[in-house]
Amino acid sequence: MNSDPVALSAALASFEDLWSPRIVTQVNDYDVRVAKVAGEHVWHAHDDTDEFFLVIEGELHISLRQEGVERTVSLPRGSVFTVPRGVEHRPYAPSGASILLFEPTGTLSVGDRHDEIPDHVDATTGHALGAVATAPQD
Q: What is the pLDDT of residues 93-132, one digit of tens each?
A: 999 999 999 999 999 888 888 878 878 888 888 888 875 5
* Whole-number pLDDT of residue 114: 83
Main-chain dihedrals φ then ψ at residue 11, nearest 5 degrees: -60, -45
What distance in Å separates the CA atoms of residue 117 and residue 90, rounded to the nearest whole number? 12
Question: Comparing 42 with 133, which gets the higher pLDDT?
Answer: 42
- pLDDT surpasses 90 at 89: yes
Q: How confident is the model at residue 137 (pLDDT cuts 50, 70, 90)?
A: low
Model pTM score: 0.89
Say how far apart CA 112 and CA 95 lie, in whole Å: 27
Q: What is the pLDDT of residue 121?
A: 84
Q: What is the pLDDT confidence band of residue 134, given thresholds at 50, 70 and 90?
A: low
What's the rounded Cα separation, in Å, for the pair 28 and 59? 29
Using DSSP's 3-state secondary structure scheme, residue 73 falls into strand
Write down the CATH number for the domain with range 8-125.
Answer: 2.60.120.10
Report the pLDDT value the prediction gives residue 124, as an integer from 0 to 100: 83
| Domain map (residue ranges) of the chain | 8-125
Look at residue 132 in the predicted model and tell me its pLDDT.
57
Q: Which helix (H) or strand (E) holds 106?
A: none
* Residue-wise pLDDT tens digits, 34-87: 999 999 999 999 999 999 999 999 999 999 999 889 999 999 999 999 999 999
Q: What is the pLDDT of residue 129?
A: 87
